[in-house]
Structure 1
Amino acid sequence: MSPSDLKLAKQECQELLRQGLIEHTTSNWACPDFYVEKRSERLRGKKRLVVDYKPLNHFLKDDKFPLPKASTLPILLKESKIFSKFDLKSGFWQLGVDPSERHKIAFCIPNAQYQWTVLPFGLKVAPSLFQKAITKILEPLLDNAIIYIDDIILFSKDMESHKKLFKPIPGKSKLVWYHVFRKEDTVSPTGN
């Protein structure tokens, strides 16, 4: 890691610690990390910290929860006229990780080791686990929703029907939509 990347990593880890997304650890497990520059981040002048979970992913059992198929979209959307699209920012980070399992998703930067308290990006099971959680939360809306990991499209034939989709979901916290719209476009899997 270059000196400038190390400085950036220390700052980023301090912020992740402050937010409660990671914690210090002395785990015997640790995957390396590095920085990447995606095109959109390069335009903002910001790199993204990536943990290389390839060694751990080799041992993880696949989670086969289905993702929607593109071929079904025209059928679902055929008669719809009103659409709302949402991208849940940092969606995986809305799922907590069991404290007894956190040591397995540890990572290190020079002179420090951390473990995630939330589901990190890079685990091969993360998309499926998140899809399963968000599908369960929005289950009452599935006849009018397409959920693809952290992207959600709600669709309706008319505005009146569409407005009903944003009412509190029975049996779920009335805060679900608050989390989706007002808390940095995130949703809590527990509804809290």
Structure 2
Amino acid sequence: RVRIIIKDLLEKGIIRESESEYASPILLVKKKDCSDRMVVDYRALNQITVKIRHPLPLINDHVDMLGNAKCFSALDMVSGFHQR
């Protein structure tokens, strides 16, 4: 099952082959519809990653940016984990 998921992600251009010295373990998690979602355990990589902190934007800043806009959008990201 993992090979099928990886093949699909490669074909869609979401992932690519790598020869990096770093690797993280993967595992499958069952979704509500009983299909599999591949997840990656990045805890070890996160320990050595340099954190660049950016403050979260304030909601009032977003409201001000909308101004007098007449059109708004809402999106439902079905595969939100693997968007391009």
The TM-score by the shorter chain falls in which range? Answer: 0.5 to 0.7
- The CA RMSD over aligned residues, in Å, is 3.0
Q: How many residues align?
A: 79
In 2: Cα distance, 1:46 partner to 1:60 partner: 32
SS of the residue corresponding to residue 9 of structure 2 reads: helix
Select the residue among 3, 23, 29 that pairs with 2:22: 29
In 2: Cα distance, 1:74 partner to 1:12 partner: 37
**Match of 1:13?**
6
- Tell me the amino acid that sits aligned with residue 42 of structure 2: Y
CA spacing shift, 1:80–1:32, aligned 2, 3 Å: same
In 1: Cα distance, 2:3 partner to 2:27 partner: 12
Aligned 1:62-77 pairs, distance under 5 A: 62-70=51-59, 72=60, 75-76=63-64
Identity level (%)? 29
**Match of 2:36?**
47
In 1: Cα distance, 2:6 partner to 2:62 partner: 43
The offset of 1:55, in angstroms, is 0.4
Report 1 or 2 for greater relative contact order, CA contacts < 8 Å, sequence distance ≥ 6: 1
Tell me, which stretches of 5 or more residues in structure 1 are unaligned?
1-7, 95-192
In 2: Cα distance, 1:48 partner to 1:13 partner: 11
Tell me, which stretches of 5 or more residues in structure 2 are unaligned?
none
The offset of 1:47, in angstroms, is 2.3
In 1: Cα distance, 2:10 partner to 2:49 partner: 26
Identify the structure with the greater helix proportion: 1
CA spacing shift, 1:80–1:46, aligned 2, 3 Å: same
SS of the residue corresponding to residue 72 of structure 2 reads: strand
TM-score if structure 2 supplies the norm length? Answer: 0.64
